Amino acid sequence: MDSFDLLSEVREIEESIGSLVDRLDNLSEYLKELKRSIVEEIKKRIEEARFTRFNADALPDFLEEPYLVLPKRVVKGRAVEFWVVVPKFIDFQLGWLERSTKSYNIFVINQYVKWFSDLPEELEKLFDVHPIPVSVADGLLLVESDKREEVWRKYRKYLYRREGDNAIRIKSGMEFELIAKIIEDGCLPFVPMPVDEKDLREPLVDFELRDYQREAWETFLKYGAIGVFWPFGTGKSFLGLYALGALKGLKLVVVPYRTLKEQWVERIREHLPREVWDEIIVETYRAYHKVRDKDFTLVIFDEVHHLPANTFVRMATLRTKYRLGLSGSPYREDGRVNYIIALTGYPVGLSWDRFFELGIIRKPLVTVHVVRDRREKLRLLDRLLSVETGKTVIFCDSIALGKKLSDRYGLTFVYGATTRRLEKIREHERVIVSRVGDEGISLPEIDTIIEVDFLYGSRLQESQRSGRLLHSEKPVTNHHILMTEEELARYGKRLLALYERGFRVRIVRG
């Protein structure tokens, strides 16, 4: 290259850099102007609302930190839970929505929220915890030798005896409880236990994983035990199917209801070859007696938020090399959220906002119809069924009411005593379903959900029912909740599950 060509190329580079700098300057000015316009618009709206005492100078500070943080629970002089109070006009969802007023949402956050979704850095600093780094493996609590005595004193009730300089034997049957306590203290005590290559084969499935599913699979290969906590309709079950096809040996899928058992069996036969069907058992959480004497390569706990319940927790003691937990609602109203992680493994989560941004799920419109009494509720159901078209699921907890509605409209009622539940839900354009259809079932063709009767104030149920619409492939879906004034007053807290996810909720009276 001669000097003329070199000089010409240098000038082109200088021009490119100059152009880039100009674009950055323009972008910076645009962002400044955008912030100024937002401030001016807020000022205008407040003045229109006739707020006479308004300090405009404080508005920029408010935009920098648009929430109030207050300690909720203090243990040994240290706050371990906080309320985060946020004006409703701020699109902000985080942690557990405890209550909602006309103007504010009040969230509760703790030290393990960050393992389910992203936690803003300024809020993460609230948990100024310095957990002792420990890990649990093969019935031992592993710790650096200089911390062993401190750990022995801290977790003494779970421990049996010291073994060597950096290990302490855990009392028989206390491993999961110890892990849960360590998680509560701010540490993830999971030792990477890579999946043995001898247990792997070329995945025998007819689909490819999405990027975020592939990342979760790589985490599973590293740890051998993970919990996956993505929103409904984002492919948790397909990650489970991939694991069933990729691992050799006997495998177990545990589900809460027979309806979900039917769906897993159907998907296994649809996406995995016949030669592996005999390797897979699908049972409910109540079937411990059927599987307790078997040795598994993998156990998948679907809707794993059920596992910490006293009646189901023994499923966690099954002999298995690897475990995978799945849940779109990893919260429990009894506060045992840390046990969801402890009983499954290393947590894998992404914020719901991320999936909304990717367009994988859409926020449904939820209309809460508040009427005077039960008679008015049935009249409203008549009107809704006269205008709503397409695939419609009517949820009804009460068996007696469900049968009455079945006779009234000539519709099939699917409940505990029904056989071939999933088939019947799918084959009818309109169907009445009890709580056996709340969780896990995927109906891509669904247009509308109508809730006539429900399990009191259960936020978990509301979250799960709304989640059925996130599986829908329809561009527009509708969710109607029919409540009497008395039900709204007594059980309205179930609606917090919808506000918590930023769903659009409107309340209509009469």
Residue 227 per-residue DSSP state? E
pLDDT tier at 21, thresholds 50, 70, 90:
low
How is domain 197-356 classified at the CATH fold level?
Rossmann fold (3.40.50)
Separation of CA 68 from chain center: 25
pLDDT of residue 105: 86
| Separation in Å, CA 495 to CA 249, 313, 490 | 43, 28, 12
Structure tokens at 297: 């390569």
Q: CATH number for the 362-509 domain, one of 3.90.700.10, 3.90.1010.10, 1.10.357.10, 3.40.50.300?
A: 3.40.50.300
**Which of 90-94, 331-335, 389-393 has the highest average model confidence (pLDDT)?**
389-393
CA distance 44 to 423: 56
* Closest alpha carbon to 166 in 191, 149, 144, 133: 144
HSE (side-chain half, CA atoms, 13 Å) at 425: 29
8 Å CB contact between 271 and 294? no
8 Å CB contact between 205 and 267? no
CA distance 315 to 313: 5
| Separation in Å, CA 86 to CA 210, 476, 503 | 34, 29, 16
What are residue 245's phi and psi, to 5 degrees? -80, -20
Structure tokens at 322: 């690897």
pLDDT one-digit tens code per residue, 131-187? 788 989 888 999 999 899 999 999 999 999 999 888 999 999 899 899 988 887 878
Record the pTM. 0.72
Q: What is the mean pLDDT of residues 84-101?
A: 79
pLDDT tier at 25, thresholds 50, 70, 90:
low
- Going 182 to 184 to 185 to 187, the CA torsion angle's sign is positive
Q: What is the mean pLDDT of residues 237-256?
A: 97
pLDDT > 90 fraction of the chain, expressed in percent and rounded: 48
